Amino acid sequence: MNSLKFLVCVAVWFSGVLLSESAKKEDGSVLYTGMLTDTISKIVSGYPGEIGVAVIINNMDTVTVNNKSIYPMMSVFKLHQAIAVCNDFDRKGLSLDSLMCIKRDELDPRTWSPMMKEHSEPVISLTVKDLLRYTLIQSDNNASNIMFKELVSVARTDSFIATLIPRTSFRIAYTEGEMSVDHDKAYSNYTSPLGAAMLMNRLFTDSLVSREKQCFMMNTLEECITGKDRIVAPLLGKEGITIAHKTGSGYINENGELAAHNDVAYIRLPNNVCYSLAVFVKDFKGNEAQASKAVACVSAIVYALLAQL
């Protein structure tokens, strides 16, 4: 079923049939939000898991499907963490070039950590900017744990982000380290798709922190190398498209399901259409490759329509 659904998505993506004459008002404008909602709803209903989607188009029109505040964020919360750290450093008048000394023996060797692989010295000296790059580009868990412990706590991060997006749309309660000990805690770090899309959208369209720090985050998210088989997949190789995104990946839960497989992005198209897209997959009865195809399928549908506006 998953492979078939993905092939259907690709067929729609190439054919451009979404913008039919029946989708236009008398004045010629396109009812694209309704079309997106209907098409995405039909596609995601065929997958063996719950898939939530949110799209914010040109900072105005919004589309949501299965938009409940129940999706485990996993590493998507590193976006929230980065914004909170930058805000805290602004408040204190500190530079992201501030140096941190990290004892290697205090790091978790079992978790995902490109930083540990690249630094074998007993005491690792990195700037805060380096740590943020590790979390946003490679989703490094040790770097995230260090910043929660030494810079801005989970509670303070959660409180600050609640000033930017609705309190009911998300919660950050645990670190990567705490979730690695008890996987069920991942379900307490949750979001709605719209909450994640709103935060990404505000980062690229509003003034949240100092311009220097905000530009740093935006540029760094464009360098993200994780999950290129998700939202990014149908956009690869297309000229004039800029993509910034942050992924989050879960574990296999006690029911044999993939707990989470997520991606949230801000995308600029050559036709000057900009949109935030969040796709969250929860309790998926399949593997990561199949879940990635589901996310890519949604991305292909959204792109197929918005590229024609």
Helix (H) or strand (E) holding 171: strand 170-171
CA-based nearest residue to 141, from 253, 248, 284: 248
The two tokens of residue 5 are 């659904």
Active site residues: 75
Q: How far apart are CA 275 and CA 59, in angstroms?
A: 7
When computed from its CA atoms, the radius of gyration of the chain, rounded to whole angstroms, is 19
Report the alpha-carbon distance of residue 181 to residue 173 in Å, rounded. Answer: 14
Rounded to the nearest angstrom, the gap between the alpha carbon of residue 77 and the centroid of all alpha carbons in its chain is 8
DSSP string for 64-113: EES--TTEE-GGGHHHHHHHHHHHHHHHHT--TT-EEEEEGGGS-TTS--
d(CA 220, CA 292): 22
Q: Could you give the CA distance from residue 209 to residue 215 in angstroms, rounded to a whole number?
A: 9
Torsion of CA 180, 184, 189, 191, to 10 degrees: 130
The neighbouring-strand residues paired with 284 are: 258
| DSSP summary character for residue 24 | B
Query: Counting Cβ atoms within 10 Å, is residue 108 exposed (0-12), middle (13-18) or buried (19+)?
Result: middle
